[in-house]
Chain A
Amino acid sequence: MTAAATPAPSPATAGEQSGVRLARSRRNAELYLLLLAMVLVAAYGATVEANLLDTVTSDFWMPAAALGAVFLGLHLVIRFLAPFADPALLPAVALLNGLGVGFLRRIDLGDAPVAERESLAVFAGQGGRQLAWTLGAVILAAALLAIMRDHRSISRYAYTLGLAGIVLVMLPAVLPSSISEKNGAKLWIDVGLFSIQPGEFAKLALLVFFAYYLVRKREVLSLASRRFLGIDFPRGRDLGPVVGVWLISVLVLVFEKDLGTSLLYFGMFVVTLYIATERVSWLLIGLVLFFGGAYLAYVLGSTVGGPFANFYLRAEIWLDPFADPTDKGYQLVQGLLALGTGGLFGAGPGGGQPDILPEVQNDFIFAGIGEEIGLFGLSALLVVYLLIVERGLRAALAVRDSFGKLLAGGLAFTLGLQVFVIVGGISKLIPLTGQTTPFLSAGGSSLMANWLLIAVLLRVSDGARRPVTGGSGGKAARPSGGPPEQLHGAPTEVIKP
C-alpha cells in the first residue's frame, strides 16, 4: 500500500479499540479493481484491432487510458467525498462503460471501408462520442457526490423532484413530434445541437419522491388499511399522491409509445411500495395488474387495434419472430441469429458481423456484443450487472435510515429490471421493448442518468459502511448501531426486530 493511496480518514483505529468490527474504506481495492477493468478494456480494444485490421495499432490503448483517467478522477473524488463507499461499484460500472465504448469503436471500424480502418481516429465516431459522454456523466456523478454529502439531504427536495419528474416525462409528449419523436417513440428533446431523453432522468427524480413519500406514510400505509377480499388495502388518501404520480407517468409513456419505460416505472413503483409496506400482497397485486393488463392490451390490440395495435404487434413478433423474418420480425430475428452465431465462445471481439443488426449501437448492443464474446462472455457481463444490483441492495440493507433503504433498494432494483427488460427483450424471453442497456448503449442521457444513479448508490453505501462514531459495545457497528437519524419531516421510525 503506497502512502499516496492511503485514505485520509482513519476512524478504524478507534473502532478496533472499542471492539467494534474494523471498518475499512477499501479504497485501494477499488483502485486495483478499476485498473484491472481498464486492462480488460484495453485487451478488448487490442483484440478488436487484431481481428478487424489484421494488426494491433500503437494507439489501441488510448480509449482505455482516456477512460481510465476519467474513472481515476472519480475514484479520487470518492476517496475524499465518500471514503466508505462500496469499492466494487465503480470498477464494475467502469468495466461495462469501457466495454461499451470499445464495442462502439468496433462498430465504427466495421462500418469504415477496409482501407480507411487503420487511419480511423481513436476519438472519432460513435466510440469517441460515447467517450465524451462518459466524461460528462462522470463529472455529473462527481458533482452529485460533492453536492449531496448525505443522501438524506435530497429528501428535502422530494416534492420538487416529483414534480420535475412528471414534467420531464411529459415534456416530449407535448412537444411537437419533429423534435421529440425518433423511431416511433416520442421520448426525446432534440434541438439539433444536442438531444436528450428526459425520461431517463425522470426515473431518478420520481424514485426520490416515491421513497420519501412512502417512508413518511409507511406506518399509515401498512396499519390503517381496509381488508377487502383477504387483502389489506391502504386508504386511498394515503396512497393517492403516489398512485397519481405513477399513473400520470405511465399514461404519458403509453402515449409516448414507450412500453419498456412504462414497464420500468411500474416495476419501480410496485417494488418501492412493497419494500415500504413489507406486504407481499402488493407484489401479487402488481403482478396480477401487470399480466392482466398485458393480456387485455393484447386482446384489445387484436380486436380493437388503435393505441393497442403497437403492443399487439410486438406480442405477435415475440410469439413467433420467424413468421415474418424479413420485415416485422427482422430485428428480433437478426438479434437471435447474432446470439446463436456467437455460440459458446463467440467470434472474438471484432470477429463477428454485428453491423448486420439494426440498432446494434443501441437497443441491440447486447446481442451485438454477444455474437463476439459468446455465452461465456455474456454470462460474465450479466454477473457484473448482478453484482452492481446486489451491491446496491446490500447498501440498502446496511444503511440505517428508511429513506436510504427505499432509495437505494428502489434504484438498484430499477437498474436490474432495466437490464432484464432489454436483455430479455432481445433474447425473446419477453416481448421486445426499446430500452437502453445501462452503461453499454450509445447515448448521453442514458449514460448520465445511470451514472447519477450510481453516484446515489455510492453515497448511500458510504453512509451504510461508515463506522458509527457514537456506537458502543454493540455486536457490530452496522447496521443496528446508533439511533436512527431524523429524516427531514419524517416521523420516528419504529425499528422492528
Chain B
Amino acid sequence: MNAPLRRVGVVVMVLFGLLFANLNWIQAYKADEYRTSDYNGRVQVADYKRKRGNIEAGGTALATSKETTGKLKFQRSYPGGPKYAHVLGYKPVNLADQGIEQVENDFLAGTSDQLIGDRLKDMFTGDDTGGGNVLLTLSKRAQDVAYDQLRNNEVGAKRGAAIAIDPRTGAIQALVSMPSFDPNPLASHDTNEATAAYNKLEKDPAEPLKNRALAETLPPGSTFKIVVAAAALENGVTKNTQIPAGSSWTPPTSGTPIRNAAASICPEPKVTLLEAVTESCNTGFAQLGVRLGAEAVKEKARQFGFEQEDLTVGHLGEGGLPTAASRTGTIQNPDGSTDPAALAQSSIGQNNVRMTPLEGAMIAGSIANNGSQMRPYLVRQLLAPDRTTSYYTASARELRQPVEPQVAADLREMMVSVVRNGTGEKAAISGYTVGGKTGTAQSAPDRPDHGWFIGFALDKNGNPVSAVCVMLEQAGPGGSSEAARIAGQIMKAAIADPGGR
C-alpha cells in the first residue's frame, strides 16, 4: 500500500501547488487591480486612519479633521457650514469627493509625492503627523458679505452667484453659489445618513450642489456690451464717437424691433459710446455690433476668455475646480451667413450668448488691470503637516491680454461713468473709484429676467483691488441694480480684508 500512499502524497503536493500558484495570481499579479477596485471599502477606510490636513483661509480652518472614538478614526468637519461649501467641496466616506477636497486630496491626505519626506520621518518616529494643509486665497470678510448679501438679496432671488477676484493676481477673494448646502452631513461616517443627505440635495430642484459661480452659463445681458465696446474701440471708434441710437431699431431681415429698457434711455438718434455704455443703450449697441460684424464680436469675446473649455480654478500648477466655457454661440443663418438680427441680439448679450459669473469677473478684472487677465486661482499655499515647510506658493500668472492698456483705460473710464452717472450707482464705495456694468437678461418669455453686475474697484492710486461679478437668477425688475449693490458690498469687504494672494 505504500505506492498509492506516495502517489496520494504527490496529489496533495499538486493540490497545494495549485493553491500556491493561484495565490500568486491574486496577490501578486492581480493585486493592484483588486486593491484599487471600486468595491474595495478599504481604500476609504485607510484614508481615515491618518489625520487629514486643514483647508484654511485667513488663518481660520474651514475644513478640519477631529479624532473620534468610532471605527473611522478621523471625522471631517466644515465649521463654516454652507458658506464655503462650493469652494471646499466635501470628503464623503462612500461618495465621490468634490471641490478643493478633491483637487488637493493627495496633499491633504498626506499621500502626495511632495510629502514623502514626512511619511518617511513618521516611519522612524512612529508618529502620524497627518496630511498637509491647504491655504486658500479667500477673504473671509468678502466671503461672509457675499454669502449673506446673496441670501438676503432685496429682490428675493432664490438662485445666484458671486465671485470676487484680485485683478492684479487672479487670487479669488470670494466665491459663493446660492443656494448652498451644508457639507457636514455628507461627510458623516454613517454612510446611510450621508447617502440620504446627498440624495436630498441631488433631488432638490434648486440644484444646491451646482457651483453656479464657475459652472453655470446664462445670457449676460448688457454686461456683454463691454466686450462689444472693446471691439469698437479697437476698430476706430473712440469713447466720444457718435454712434447711432434711438428708442427703437429694427435690424435688417428681422421684423422684431430692439428697444431700450426704458423710454428715457438714449431716445436721441445718436449718442457717444460713453453715453451708450453709461445708460446701457440697447439700440446703440445692436447697431454697433452689426456694423462691427459677427467675427469681430466673437473674436473679442474669445480674447476675453469666451470659449475656453479647460480653465480650472484651484492650484495654478495643476488641477482645480472645473469651469464651464462661456459661449457667444451661433450668430448665423442656416446657410452659414451672418444673421444681422441674431448679431444685433448677441451684441446686447442675448440670443445664444452665455457667460459664467467667473468670466464676468475676469472681464472686469482684466479691464481694471490694464488689459492683462490673470489666471484665477484659489490655492495660495501648501503647508507641511507641521506647518514649517511650504511646498508650494502660488505665483500669479497672466492668462491672456484681451485689450491694449489704452483700450482698457477707455473701458475703465466708461465703466466708472456707469457707476457715477448710470445704472450701476449702487456699487459705489466712498474713497474708491468703482467701475462696472449692469446687465438684465431675458431668460424665457414667461420668466423673470436675470440681474447681472460686473465691476471693479480702484484705490486712490488707481491700483485695482477687487473685481467682481454678481448674478441673480430670475431676479426680475431691479435685479441688476441689486446685483450692483451686492457687488459694491463685496468689494468694500475685500478692500478691508483682501484675502491671501
Interface residues of A (CB under 8 A from B): 113-115, 271, 274-276, 278, 322, 325-326, 333-334, 336-344, 352-353, 355-356, 370, 374-375, 378-379, 382, 385-386, 389-390, 393, 396-397, 402, 405-406, 409, 412-413, 416-417, 419-420, 423-424, 427-429, 479
- Total contacting residues, chain B, CB less than 8 A: 40
Task: Name the interface residues of B64-98: CB closer than 8 Å to any CB of A.
Answer: 68-71, 73
Take A356-B42, A375-B24, A393-B8 as given contacts and tell me if A341 and B35 are in contact as well, using a CB distance cutoff of 8 Å: yes
Interface residues of B (CB under 8 A from A): 1-6, 8-9, 11-13, 15-16, 18-20, 22-24, 26-28, 30-35, 37, 39-42, 45-46, 68-71, 73
Alpha-carbon distance A338/B28, docked complex (angstroms)? 13
Take A397-B5, A397-B6, A409-B5 as given contacts and tell me if A341 and B22 are in contact as well, using a CB distance cutoff of 8 Å: no
Q: Which of A114, A334, A479 contacts B70 (CB 8 A)?
A: A114
Q: A115-B69, A343-B31, A420-B15 are in contact. List 15 more A-B contacts (CB 8 A).
A: A113-B70, A113-B71, A274-B4, A274-B8, A275-B4, A326-B39, A341-B31, A353-B41, A353-B46, A375-B28, A379-B23, A389-B12, A396-B5, A416-B12, A429-B22
**A423–B37 touching, CB < 8 Å:** no
Residues of B within 8 A of A378 (CB): 23, 27
24 A-B contact pairs sorted by A residue (CB < 8 Å): A115-B69, A275-B5, A333-B39, A337-B35, A337-B39, A340-B31, A344-B31, A352-B42, A353-B45, A356-B42, A375-B27, A382-B20, A390-B9, A393-B8, A396-B5, A405-B5, A406-B1, A409-B1, A409-B5, A413-B12, A416-B16, A424-B15, A424-B19, A479-B2
Alpha-carbon distance A396/B1, docked complex (angstroms)? 9
Take A343-B28, A427-B22 as given contacts and tell me if A397 and B16 are in contact as well, using a CB distance cutoff of 8 Å: no
B72: min CB distance to chain A, Å:
9
Take A342-B27, A423-B19, A427-B19 as given contacts and tell me if A393 and B9 are in contact as well, using a CB distance cutoff of 8 Å: yes
Say whether chain B's binding surface is mostly helix, strand, loop, or mixed: helix
**A339–B34 touching, CB < 8 Å:** yes
Q: Which residue of B lies closest to A117 (CB)?
A: B69
Alpha-carbon distance A326/B15, docked complex (angstroms)? 30
A149: min CB distance to chain B, Å:
23
Q: Which of B1, B15, B26 contacts A416 (CB 8 A)?
A: B15
Residues of B within 8 A of A355 (CB): 71
Residues of A within 8 A of B20 (CB): 379, 382
Q: Which residue of A lies closest to B12 (CB)?
A: A416
**B19–A275 touching, CB < 8 Å:** no
**A382–B19 touching, CB < 8 Å:** yes
**A375–B23 touching, CB < 8 Å:** yes
Take A337-B34, A337-B40 as given contacts and tell me if A271 and B22 are in contact as well, using a CB distance cutoff of 8 Å: no
Q: Which residue of B lies closest to A274 (CB)?
A: B4
Take A341-B35, A353-B46, A406-B1 as given contacts and tell me if A386 and B69 are in contact as well, using a CB distance cutoff of 8 Å: no
Residues of A within 8 A of B68 (CB): 114
Residues of B within 8 A of A397 (CB): 2, 5-6
**B23–A337 touching, CB < 8 Å:** no
**B39–A340 touching, CB < 8 Å:** no
Residues of B within 8 A of A424 (CB): 15, 18-19, 22
